[in-house]
């Protein structure tokens, strides 16, 4: 009879036999003197008494710094523990407690199967590592990649880890447009085409699980798609779905949805709470990666826009001078030399095209991918394509007019005095100008005098006068208002005041073209 059997009787022995954990009594040489049925199940042979503990359970690897918890327990006279890896996929957590029977030292070893916990921890760590590498590139790699290529790399990595690590075969990510509330598709794998193109908003009703999650910021486990009122079909025959919010700095920026496809050869098992936890862990890193990417896009877009604006600002006034000089020369030859006039008109067209070409090149340089759009919402629809003539002797005022108004889609030309302005108006042809903004004090005439001169050229004069507060020595504003000119800008004005004034000037009007000469 073994040592354990000689000292264990009745209820104590019955408890040890029924324990879900493995229990063994070991001597100082790690030899098993007794083991309960659970531990025997984990051993390579049912005859374990008299065998070395490690050999009996298949030669495990001891994880940790202590090579043998049993010897450490006996040597230190205290309870120790260790995790043992048995084979490729089983982990046992062993607690060794020193004891003595009739003066002889023994170790009471209790083992618990922690395979599921260990594998879950490893998977969590692997998911986090994968998430951190989603958009991680060395500087030299980044330098060789366009924004579009990096977007595709990120999408590819997300799908790779979703499938190979998380075992999710059907994936959909949508990004939230903060201005419209619309959930724009970023990537989809395994989804039905109609589901991919479905228009969804961040609303808790009538927008499926995805809209609900985006609106509430709460994860959602749809255990049975056939019974869930929120579910909208994404994958044909899906049993269940998981949807989590993509959250950055406590703000929902999108949604991450996965679905369990129907497999004819396997039972239709649905997702579990553990699957949901894995997806939540991964989604946190996905949100960070998407934000990093969007910052990159915004940075490149801003840099491109600033470069284009700098180039455009450098050539704007010189081009205006070319226009003015060409118009001045052209007026001398009108009616005298048709060939010279045609050449000068071609110069005018080419000079105007220069600025348009710069703007178009700038649009191509500016990245438009990844749902982040440069200056989103900054344009005013009523100003796009409007032709504006600004008349002022100050170079800074004319340059600012280009910078501010062209940012909102206007086509701007400038003149230094009233004479140049009249020439440009006469040479504007059928296009004309939607608005003429002029200082009340020009080098060669007052603002009111310019208005009178323009009346000789135009049927309707779309004039806006500019002045400093209280400065109007020639009473141009009073005279202009008596003549029907109501719009006045007082310097210095804010950009919104300028835009509002121009919008009021163009509201319900057509470009004013010069009268036939």
- Beta strands 411-415 and 387-391 are parallel
pLDDT in tens, 153-166: 778 888 888 888 88
Measured CA to CA in angstroms, residue 101 lies from 14, 69, 75, 107, 447 at distances of: 19, 20, 17, 10, 114
**pLDDT (tens digit per residue) in 457-488:** 888 888 888 887 555 566 667 777 787 777 88
Q: Rounded to an integer, what distance in angstroms lies between the CA atom of residue 117 and that of residue 252?
A: 31
Kindly provide the residue ranges of all beta strands, DSSP E only, lying in 307-400, ordered along the sequence.
387-391
Residue 89: which of 53, 113, 62, 65 has the closest Cα?
113
- How far is the CA of 110 from the CAs of 20, 61, 237, in angstroms? 10, 17, 46
Give Cα separations from 432 to 308, 342, 426, 488 (angstroms): 26, 19, 9, 21
CA atoms of 208 and 204, how far apart (whole Å)? 8
Cβ–Cβ under 8 Å, residues 284 and 247: yes
Orientation angle between helical segments 115-132 and 273-333, nearest 10 degrees: 10
Task: Please give the helix or strand (H or E) that residue 251 lies within, else none.
Answer: strand 251-259
Q: What is the pLDDT of residue 377?
A: 38
Q: Return d(Cα 242, Cα 244) in angstroms, integer.
A: 7
Domains within the chain, CATH numbers bracketed: 3-113 (3.30.450.20), 120-297 (3.30.450.40), 378-517 (3.40.50.2300)
Distance CA 410, CA 384 (A): 5
The pTM for the full model equals 0.51
* Cα gap 337→319, rounded to integer Å: 24
For 374-386, the pLDDT digits (tens) are 343 345 678 888 8
Is the pLDDT reported for residue 434 higher than 60?
yes
pLDDT at 314: 72
The pLDDT of 40-45, averaged and rounded, is 89
Q: What is the pLDDT of residues 255-302, one digit of tens each?
A: 999 998 766 554 446 798 989 999 999 998 888 887 766 544 544 555
- Summarize the confidence of residues 85-92 as an average pLDDT: 86
* Cβ density class 407-427: b for 16+ within 10 Å, e for less: bbbbbbbbbbbbbbbbbbbbb
The mean-pLDDT minimum among 240-244, 265-269, 489-493 falls in 265-269
**pLDDT digits over 354-365, tens only?**
777 766 665 555
pLDDT at 119 over 70: yes
């Amino acid at each position: 009879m073994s040592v354990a059997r000689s000292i264990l009787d009745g209820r104590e022995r019955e408890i040890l036999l029924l324990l879900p954990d493995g229990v063994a009594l070991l001597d100082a040489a790690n030899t098993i003197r007794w083991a309960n049925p659970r531990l025997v199940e984990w051993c390579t042979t049912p005859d374990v008494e008299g065998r070395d503990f490690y050999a009996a359970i298949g030669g495990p690897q001891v994880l940790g710094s202590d090579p043998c918890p049993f010897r450490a327990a006996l040597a230190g006279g205290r309870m120790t523990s260790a995790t043992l890896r048995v084979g490729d996929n089983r982990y046992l957590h062993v607690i060794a407690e020193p004891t003595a029977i009739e003066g002889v030292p023994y170790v009471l070893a209790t083992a618990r199967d922690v395979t599921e916990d260990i594998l879950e921890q490893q998977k969590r760590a692997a998911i986090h590592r994968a998430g951190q590498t989603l958009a991680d590139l060395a500087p030299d790699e980044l330098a060789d990649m366009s924004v579009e290529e990096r977007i595709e790399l990120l999408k590819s990595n997300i799908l790779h880890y979703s499938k190979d690590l998380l075992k999710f075969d059907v994936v959909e990510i949508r990004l939230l447009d903060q201005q419209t509330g619309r959930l724009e598709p970023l990537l989809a794998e395994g989804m039905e085409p109609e589901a991919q193109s479905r228009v969804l908003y961040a609303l808790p009703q009538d927008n499926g699980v995805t809209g609900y999650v985006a609106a509430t910021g709460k994860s959602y486990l749809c255990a049975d798609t056939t019974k869930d009122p929120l579910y909208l079909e994404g994958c044909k025959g899906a049993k269940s779905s998981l949807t989590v919010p993509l959250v950055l700095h406590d703000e929902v920026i999108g949604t991450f949805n996965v679905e369990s496809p129907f497999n004819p050869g396997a039972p239709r098992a649905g997702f579990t709470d553990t699957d949901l936890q894995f997806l939540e862990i991964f989604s946190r890193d996905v949100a960070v990666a998407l934000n990093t990417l969007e910052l990159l896009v915004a940075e490149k877009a801003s840099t491109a826009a600033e470069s284009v604006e700098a180039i455009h600002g450098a050539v704007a006034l010189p081009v205006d001078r070319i226009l003015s000089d060409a118009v001045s020369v052209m007026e001398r030859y009108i009616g005298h030399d048709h060939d010279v006039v045609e050449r000068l008109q071609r110069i005018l067209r080419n000079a105007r095209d220069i600025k348009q070409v710069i703007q178009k090149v700038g649009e191509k340089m500016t990245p438009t991918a990844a749902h982040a759009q440069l200056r989103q919402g900054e344009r005013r629809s009523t100003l796009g394509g409007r032709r504006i003539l600004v008349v002022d002797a100050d170079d800074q005022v004319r340059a600012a007019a280009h910078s501010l108004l062209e940012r909102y889609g206007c086509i701007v030309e400038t003149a230094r005095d009233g004479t140049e302005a009249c020439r440009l108006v006469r040479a504007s042809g059928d296009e004309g100008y939607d608005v003429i903004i002029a200082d009340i004090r020009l080098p060669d005439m007052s603002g009111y005098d310019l208005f009178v001169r323009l009346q000789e050229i135009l049927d309707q004069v779309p004039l806006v006068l500019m002045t400093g507060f209280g400065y109007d020595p020639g009473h141009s504003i009073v005279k202009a208002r008596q003549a029907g000119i109501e719009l006045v800008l007082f310097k210095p004005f804010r950009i919104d005041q300028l835009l509002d004034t121009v919008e009021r000037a163009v509201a319900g009007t057509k470009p004013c073209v010069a009268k036939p000469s």
